[in-house]
Homo-oligomer: A and B are copies of this chain.
Amino acid sequence: MANPRPYSGLIERLKAVGLRPTRQRLALAKLLFGPGNRHVSAEQLHGEAVGAQVRVSLATVYNTLHQFTAVGLLREVVVEPGRSYFDTNTSHHHHFFCEEDRNLVDIPGEELKVEKLPRPPPGTTVTEVDIVIRVRKNPGLEG
């Protein structure tokens, strides 16, 4: 009946980064690291967990997202004030962001290159380059 490998690999993956594979962390990891990459907010993920019968508090979702981010399983993306998104794609890449439907879409690394990175201010070192291409839905023709 029950899936024989409900957390295939996830337990090892958590252990590998030094996080105990608790029920909550496993359930959230399962939601996050399923097929395909995702960009979710804390509230969103909490909603999905609740919807999937997983009992977990919002505080734990925040804790877990930050822990996952700290160990490199997630990346935090800031595109609008007030809300953070967590990205399961931790490779170097950039984003399209549609403010209308708050949708984040990955831009494959090769499709966007920066030429001539400027020298950072004296006494500082570059830690990251974030490019957000903001888009608007075309008028008319909508489904």
Residues of A within 8 A of B (CB): 78-84, 96, 98, 105, 107-108, 111-118, 120-121, 123-138, 141-142
Contacts and interface: CB of A to CB of B under 8 A. Distances in A.
A39 to B, nearest CB: 14
Contacts of A117: 112, 133
Contacts of A98: 121, 124
30 contacts: A78-B79, A81-B82, A81-B83, A81-B84, A82-B82, A98-B121, A105-B121, A107-B118, A108-B118, A111-B116, A112-B116, A112-B118, A113-B114, A114-B131, A115-B115, A117-B133, A120-B135, A123-B138, A123-B141, A125-B135, A125-B138, A126-B133, A126-B135, A127-B135, A128-B133, A128-B134, A130-B132, A130-B133, A131-B132, A132-B132
Q: Is the interface of A mostly helix, strand, loop or mixed?
A: strand
A137 B125 CA distance: 6
A96 B120 contact: yes
A90 to B, nearest CB: 16
A114 B116 CA distance: 9
Contacts of A133: 117-118, 120, 126, 128-130
A85 to B, nearest CB: 9
Nearest to A119: B111
